[in-house]
Structure 1
């Protein structure tokens, strides 16, 4: 690697993360390597919990339908955004710069980069709490050590996320299989298909609301998928890599939680969901207890590192800095928030904000559809048409969220954003500007590279 392709940190020589430019072809990675980054991200206990909550409220069959539909939406949405970055090598901030403007993108990118740092804080705090509840260890100390570990892994870069994914996903499958085996020994898997739910089925919630929950779980990092899939060889490879997460890994995690709740093994399932950790964490010998401890750290660590990576890549481009420096800064901020206990206040806000994220991706995809195959000109400072599309989409999603949650609010928001943006762009006649023949097309933010 040349000097421009590496970063020297102390005695370490680390690969450049290309925060301010497309990933060059020489540094693109194999499809399995990129897929490992995504595959290990959604196959987590959190998704099993949500899968169990949906099943408890809807019953198994309707819960299964909602889970499948939500994953189809994620597959199409994240896959399309992944294709763009796989073809171009651009991270989310660079893609957003071409749509929202070279100054305007800072709002869209900064919004998402801040949300994912909130998720890092939440999951780091949850790591300490879970270990404390399972083993009685000091919650604050575990949270601090977990935060330091997660920062260190993220600091290494995309290679570390790939390796972590190769460990996290198989470990989830092993632990889930053990939990299901323990449940089956008591005959708990006999009539899963006919499980009616805690309130007699669909009366407790709607399929539309459940689909929204599935999509909102990964709305933020799913929109920022370019941070991961820009490393793919091309657009097709990027789609294959993201499909390892949606529908495969995410569907597996949700279904594990659904089956465990439908087996009757979880007390108060509408609250606890498919949290299968208590099934094997205690009372089955030291080996399973040790496995449970490793599982907690690796599983929640997978979420934390991916979210911190998204946040660091986004903010490093906005600030004209480096991903690794922002990893340390944002990681410290998130860990302090976790230690202070404020992480427990984040969940409702993060879920609500997640509803307003998909319209951003819808505007980006619509822009690509309208402008292709035109070569983009240097973006203006702020593209108000893109912000208008996002605002209308977010408003529509918010209205449905608070007034008609039985409908799929994320789809409403995406459709409203796409239609608004398309109408405005076509009305102003700016759907397909081309650069002058032979003109150099600068990357948004290239002056900071």
Structure 2
């Protein structure tokens, strides 16, 4: 079943039928139907005592913030991938508002209400229940459209990094990686997965902010790197990731992005100042096309 679902979810992107976004038009109506059924069948009968009972165990404040941050990391990176196709700044702002406020946030709140009601995911899909089969359809549609768009974005990224590779080979390889993760059950624990995303993405953000606002001040991306690889950025990101994972293990109360992102950004600036040419941070001449975009 994992192989069948993985192949079906990835085919539209591999053969470029949907190009990642055509299928998403049916995701919102499907999830609205899902929310209406869940609220009517599971939340409405328990509304009077919704917040009276325990939710299911204590969680350190820092870990809770990091889990929420990691959840938004997924939507944040995906929104950025979509926004790059916008023609104007207004369209970019509208796409961001739809992505966060109208698409992501309501369903995060729905998940919180379900947890407060003491309802687990398995309770929604009771075997032999006709309503469970009805709920399963929008869930499949939502996951399908998400996988389709994410695979297209991953393919576009790898294609830009390896332009000689054919599109079908790149997306097929990404699909195989996804199937491997599904088989090994590595990402089954959502809390651990979101904490890992927080640890990985925060140092990258710190390096990007330091690079853009300090090294590239007033020039933006109008100047290209002279070296093919920015080693300083990789070293600083690795150091920030190490700091985040260490803090996560030793100090659960600490909000790790507040440590890992500044640490990675500061180390990047130090490395750029010490050995810019050797570590690949020095900038080349301006390019006309980049200046126009900037």
TM-score, normalising length: structure 1: 0.54
Question: Does residue 189 in structure 1 map to residue 47 in structure 2?
Answer: yes
Q: Deviations over 1:376-411 (max 9, x none)?
A: 134313323322331232122112111112222133
Match of 1:279 in 2: 124
Question: Does residue 233 in structure 1 map to residue 78 in structure 2?
Answer: no
Report SS of the residue matched to 2:98: helix
Match of 1:318 in 2: 161
Separation in structure 2 between the aligned mates of residue 379 and residue 441 of structure 1, nearest angstrom: 17
Check 1:229–1:184 CA distance in 2 against 1; reply closer, same or farther (3 A cut).
Answer: closer
Q: Deviations over 1:121-179 (max 9, x none)?
A: xxxxxxxxxxxxxxxxxxx3xx2332222112223559553233221122112112211
Question: Does residue 418 in structure 1 map to residue 260 in structure 2?
Answer: no
Check 1:381–1:394 CA distance in 2 against 1; reply closer, same or farther (3 A cut).
Answer: same
Q: How far 1:259 moved relative to its partner?
A: 0.7
Match of 2:98 in 1: 244
Match of 2:285 in 1: 435
Separation in structure 1 between the aligned mates of residue 75 and residue 208 of structure 2, nearest angstrom: 15
Separation in structure 2 between the aligned mates of residue 158 and residue 373 of structure 1, nearest angstrom: 41
Match of 1:304 in 2: 147
Separation in structure 2 between the aligned mates of residue 158 and residue 356 of structure 1, nearest angstrom: 32
- Greater than 6 Å deviation, 4+ residue runs: 427-432
- Specify which of 201, 213, 227 is matched with residue 369 of structure 1: 213
Separation in structure 2 between the aligned mates of residue 158 and residue 360 of structure 1, nearest angstrom: 32
Match of 2:178 in 1: 334
Structure 1 segment 142-153 matched on structure 2, within 5 A: 143-153=2-12
Q: What is the alpha-carbon root mean square deviation over aligned residues?
A: 3.4
Check 1:336–1:416 CA distance in 2 against 1; reply closer, same or farther (3 A cut).
Answer: closer
Separation in structure 2 between the aligned mates of residue 333 and residue 347 of structure 1, nearest angstrom: 15
Q: Any unmatched runs of 5+ in structure 1?
A: 1-139, 267-271, 443-449
Indicate conservation of the 8 Å contact 1:209/1:406, yes or no: yes
Match of 1:292 in 2: 135
Q: How far 1:423 moved relative to its partner?
A: 4.4
Report SS of the residue matched to 1:198: coil
Q: How far 1:351 moved relative to its partner?
A: 4.7
Separation in structure 2 between the aligned mates of residue 158 and residue 418 of structure 1, nearest angstrom: 40
Match of 1:402 in 2: 249
- Specify which of 25, 28, 31 is matched with residue 166 of structure 1: 25
Q: How far 1:212 moved relative to its partner?
A: 0.6
Check 1:425–1:232 CA distance in 2 against 1; reply closer, same or farther (3 A cut).
Answer: same
Separation in structure 2 between the aligned mates of residue 221 and residue 157 of structure 1, nearest angstrom: 23
Question: Does residue 345 in structure 1 map to residue 186 in structure 2?
Answer: yes
Check 1:409–1:162 CA distance in 2 against 1; reply closer, same or farther (3 A cut).
Answer: same
Indicate conservation of the 8 Å contact 1:153/1:305, yes or no: yes
Match of 2:56 in 1: 198
Structure 1 segment 94-113 matched on structure 2, within 5 A: none
